[in-house]
Structure 1
């Protein structure tokens, strides 16, 4: 009888927290999100420019496709979990499809290189993050390079962290399987409006933590909790944009979004697992067919370049 790898099965099963606070959110905010995403990160641009002419490059989690076609001497294909973002890419003439980062629909050894830019921090378990890395390595040829970037715990602007909402104990039920993160703030969260800057999509004012009906105070005190890595990061969708997106009415009705009348926006919360120093490299431990070529910190992101060795 064939044995089932339960760890692999669990990593392929999407936790509810990702469905609600990643997939649903990006579908709802896609056009507005895309309008703010056009600048190319220099390190990513440098990596893409360094690849040999004629290379086939896979962008896993391509978003609005801002890197697709960046190097005109190479061929690009992309995928993303959000159908709304993929439609934007298709309208721009890119070769893309809807796919999950932990289960890429490409044959082994398909591409010459792959990139995963700001994607892994939206995966809510260690197993899923590792599986996504394994998939990136699988789909490139021997000698192929993989660039991965994720948000860092060690933010250059520490004020930003005080404006994020740490995930509370009540969200534990959203995670499934081994490798699930452990909640570190023993309270439920009452989310208030948090403004953001266009560049970072972060920012904010005080968010209050409540327990048994009592306000414990501003989260600035709570955010000193050691090793906190699970957060909600808000996105403000202007009312005129929300009217275009039919998803917002449903999100408001079901409690997946809130209204901020002062700012005239529907507020969505996106799930993030921010990475500590060395964590990205540690996920590659046990992956025998790849080696670390480079790793670095860039603009509040941890980055790693892997080479497939066999």
Structure 2
């Protein structure tokens, strides 16, 4: 009986191993079909495959880099022009160098500062996103643009995932979890055209401050998937299920106007004159439970006046994030952020308060942006947990 049980255990192990081998072969075949050797695609500047102790691990084999279809990305590269000097590529010229200041300060710098705490609150998977990923065929290559802490990377074990994010600390967190990730800008993805089978952009587009940049991000998602591939996009909705939330966020309206940050950007005060003292309080970030939308527990003083009327046309907000004093990342960096006006102390809550920029989407806005995208059609659209969501399919 003991020998029989041992044989059955060995057989089970062999079957499991064989299944894993078949999945790996399926993935390899997908990659081989997608990018045969000799098809070098875009210029390579030293790929960053992040799955080791080092934050950036250069791959020495340029053929393999081109084979994977990726392009070099370090923080320095992202901050410079996306195209090599004197060369033309099909990628958008819009990179971090032309990013509006409001995004640099109230999105990039904030997420860099709160990354560990933010990651600790991001673990629940949205059922709709999980359903989309689990519906993909065996061996599909999924590109996650704005992957955050990588909670969706590897969700479907039968697919291969590559993530990217503009926040280097968040990318480091993903890398430490053995995910394949790169530092990259959502409006200029580092992949060849038609590289992936599917792409997702979960809670990313609402951090882009101009319609041009939001449209470009959608174009990039469509560009990097193959014909017939699908793209899932979710954004915060202006039509919040709890309407009282909108009166508790800080709207970026005329009372903040001193200068334009950039063409099409919301009007806010210049960094030298802007103060966070009027920003309302928030309970977000004070516990480890994630809600289906980040602002589900924001509270504070109402903006007053005809708030309900203002909300009809108001789409630009600051949403607070409380970083507790006891967190390890509250150190010299936070002191510097407070001194520069990026954050403020809230002794009542025992936290450093950062504010994130959001453009909340009105009904139909996301569909209108996507409807003008070349070679793409909307195949599904829905409202879920105070988010507008669409699924696009790339057509020939």
**TM-score of the alignment, normalized to the shorter chain, above 0.5:** yes
Partner of 2:282: 195
Alpha carbons 2:142, 2:197 under 8 Å: kept = yes
Partner of 1:173: 259
Closer/same/farther in 2, CA of residues 144 and 101 from structure 1, 3 Å limit: same
* The one of 132, 143, 163 aligned to 1:47: 132
Q: Find runs of 4+ consecutive structure 1 residues off by over 6 angstroms.
A: none
2: CA distance between counterparts of 1:300 and 1:70? 23
SS in 1 for 2:326: helix
The CA deviation at 1:201 is: 4.3
Partner of 2:239: 154
1: CA distance between counterparts of 2:328 and 2:243? 31
1: CA distance between counterparts of 2:173 and 2:318? 25
Alpha carbons 1:201, 1:235 under 8 Å: kept = no
Deviates more, 1:9-18 or 1:260-269: 9-18
Alpha carbons 1:252, 1:258 under 8 Å: kept = yes
State the structure with more CA Rg. Answer: 2
Deviates more, 1:162-171 or 1:223-232: 162-171
* The one of 229, 235, 241 aligned to 2:321: 235
* The one of 248, 261, 283 aligned to 1:163: 248
1: CA distance between counterparts of 2:94 and 2:155? 35
SS in 1 for 2:305: helix
The CA deviation at 1:307 is: 0.3
SS in 1 for 2:216: helix
Alpha carbons 1:166, 1:223 under 8 Å: kept = no
The CA deviation at 1:181 is: 4.3
* The one of 290, 299, 309 aligned to 1:204: 299
Alpha carbons 2:116, 2:329 under 8 Å: kept = no
Query: CA offsets, 1:52-81, max 9 Å, x none?
Result: 010000000000000000000000000000
Partner of 2:145: 60
Closer/same/farther in 2, CA of residues 60 and 189 from structure 1, 3 Å limit: same
Alpha carbons 2:259, 2:267 under 8 Å: kept = no
Q: Give the 5 Å matches for 1:7-18.
A: 13-18=98-103
More strand by share: 1
Structure 2: where are the runs of 5+ without partners? Answer: 1-87, 269-273
The CA deviation at 1:288 is: 2.3
2: CA distance between counterparts of 1:163 and 1:264? 20
Partner of 1:78: 163
RMSD: 2.2
Closer/same/farther in 2, CA of residues 182 and 281 from structure 1, 3 Å limit: farther
Closer/same/farther in 2, CA of residues 301 and 307 from structure 1, 3 Å limit: same
Partner of 1:219: 303
Partner of 1:215: none
Partner of 2:180: 95
How many residues are treated as equivalent by the alignment? 289
1: CA distance between counterparts of 2:364 and 2:203? 17
